[in-house]
Amino acid sequence: MPPATEPAWAVHLPPDLRWQDVDLLSGKSVPAVTARWASLGPEVPAVYQDGRGWLSRRELDQRSAVVAGRLAGAGLRPGDPVLFSATASIPLVVAHLAALRAGLIVVPANTEYRQAELLHIATDAGVRAAVMERELDAGVPVLTPDVELPDAAPPPLDQQQPGDVAMICYTSGTTGRPKGAVLTHGNLLASAEAVRLAWRWTTRDRLVLALPLFHAHGLLVGLHGTLVAGGSAVLLPRFDPGAVADAVVGHDATLFFGVPTMYRRIAASSRGGDLRRLRLCVSGSAPLPAELHAELRERTGQLVLERYGLTETLMLTSNPYDGERRPGTVGFPLPGVELRLAGGGSGEILVKGSNVFGGYRGHPGGFDDGWFRTGDIGALDPEGYLRIVGRAKELIITGGLNVYPREVEDVLLEHPSVVDVAVVGLPSDEWGEEVTAFVVARPGQSIEVTELIEFAGCRLARFKCPREVRVVQTLPRNALGKILRDELS
């Protein structure tokens, strides 16, 4: 039942929409909304990729139905998890949508993950197949994004209810091993609808999507938001300031979403001025420094809108589209989100809402009396803008990607010359935080820094590997032996 008084998130609504009329789940699911857009405007462009051209709404609908039939013909049934790990492309978008339409559970994984990392996810999720561009030694069929299987009759499509499981997204947890956040179709739709309303996303919008489609930012905000809004997206296989500028100019784009690392490179690029054509630029996945916010306004003409979300909750807050976009803050709760701070004026951020997941696969915890504990520490300014002031968890966010120190430490301790190690995130203008390892050598041995970084690179995704290794005599610890990470700098 909706609250009797106007909620904080009403600040995000367009003037002609009453908060009482907002129903984030009326569309039932992202694929169901996508199918309705296809019926309303079948020839409207939906997704573009260099070398493949535009795919219309009708073509996206038809091709995803064909792929859904192929997956069903291979024996996959509703509720079966399928691992997805591939470069952004039209075939990947088609396969992703096909899996959701058929009731399969999508399990995205970073394309830089090594076999051991992928095997953990595949085993923990119990995947029945994988859509990838390389081999996976997990004892399940591995398909390319084109899903080159015999055609078969499609199963019933778009039948999922908001409470049905849609995805399992792995994120770092307190054990150091990634945990699977179980997201429902309702979670996905509620988050996409919330940003559609808040950011005034319409069918006329065209997004330059240079974010990877294994990450919540690119997949669950960029792609799903486009599908729910009925807009269109230009896919880029990787980020490059020049390629982004070319896409903005060549395709009359209106939107760009990025992480602070991307925006810093855009600000330093000679093509930054081309972003003046855009209606909106959004930054997320890591804090956007206030000085970069100001530099972007000067160089690109864009007053970047910063927002805040987590894998477990999808989008939570945003600076307002209409109103002050306050640097150093992440704005107000998005439509449908309830937010409070455990300590009152400042403290751990607790949230509720139809966008918030129900729990981790096989891992209890994370909730307090129905409120999800984000692990992030926030503070509210006098006008109600939320500022992220720290993290209760020791997570490192580098280039918008999450790294849990324990996972990196465990790998470095496998090296025969390392006896002790602590990994922290140190401030970086380019990456937001830089993965830095403080290591202690075994008595009588020495540590070759370059060799140790290469050792880690063979066992971890590139973004998890330390960019800097500092050899120290001892690590600072308290009386109980816990490493004092705040003293490492």
Tell me whether residue 16 is in a domain: no
Does residue 62 lie in a domain region?
A: yes
- Please indicate, yes or no, whether residues 400 and 384 belong to a single structural domain of this protein: no
Residue the block writes with tokens 């002609």: 16
Whether 302 and 320 have beta carbons less than 8 Å apart is answered as: no
In a domain, 313, yes or no: yes
- What's the CA gap between 169 and 167, in Å, rounded? 6
At residue 244, φ and ψ (nearest 5 deg) are -65, -45
Same domain, 446 and 311: no
- Are 325 and 340 contained in the same domain? yes
Residues 205, 245: one domain? yes
337 and 450 co-located in one domain? no
Its pTM stands at: 0.88
Domain of residue 472, CATH code: 3.30.300.30
**Residues 335, 450 within the same domain:** no
Residues 320 and 428 in one domain: no
CA distance 478 to 73: 59
Q: How many domains does the chain have?
A: 2
Among residues 390, 406, 437, the one where a domain terminates is: 390
Residue 10 lies in a domain: no
> By the 8 A CB rule, do 238 and 265 touch?
no
Q: Are residues 403 and 346 in the same domain?
A: no
Q: Is residue 9 part of a domain?
A: no
Q: Per-residue pLDDT tens, the chain, 489 aa: give them.
A: 455 789 999 999 999 999 999 999 999 999 999 999 999 999 999 999 999 999 999 999 999 999 999 999 999 999 999 999 999 999 999 999 999 999 999 999 999 999 999 999 999 999 999 999 999 988 999 999 999 999 999 999 999 999 999 999 998 644 467 899 999 999 999 999 999 999 999 999 999 999 999 999 999 999 999 999 999 999 999 999 999 999 999 999 999 999 999 999 999 999 999 999 999 999 998 888 888 999 999 999 999 999 999 999 999 999 999 999 999 999 999 999 999 999 777 789 999 999 999 999 988 778 999 999 998 889 999 999 999 887 766 778 899 998 878 889 889 999 999 988 999 999 998 899 999 999 999 899 999 999 999 999 999 999 999 999 999 999 997 654 568 887 898
Question: 40, 49, 412: which is closest to 243 by C-alpha?
Answer: 49
Structural domain contains residue 68: yes
Q: Where among 372, 390, 408 does a domain terminate?
A: 390
Domain enclosing residue 285, as ranges: 22-390
Backbone angles phi, psi at 315, to 5 degrees: -80, 135
For residues 322 and 210, membership in a common domain is answered with yes
280, 413: one domain: no
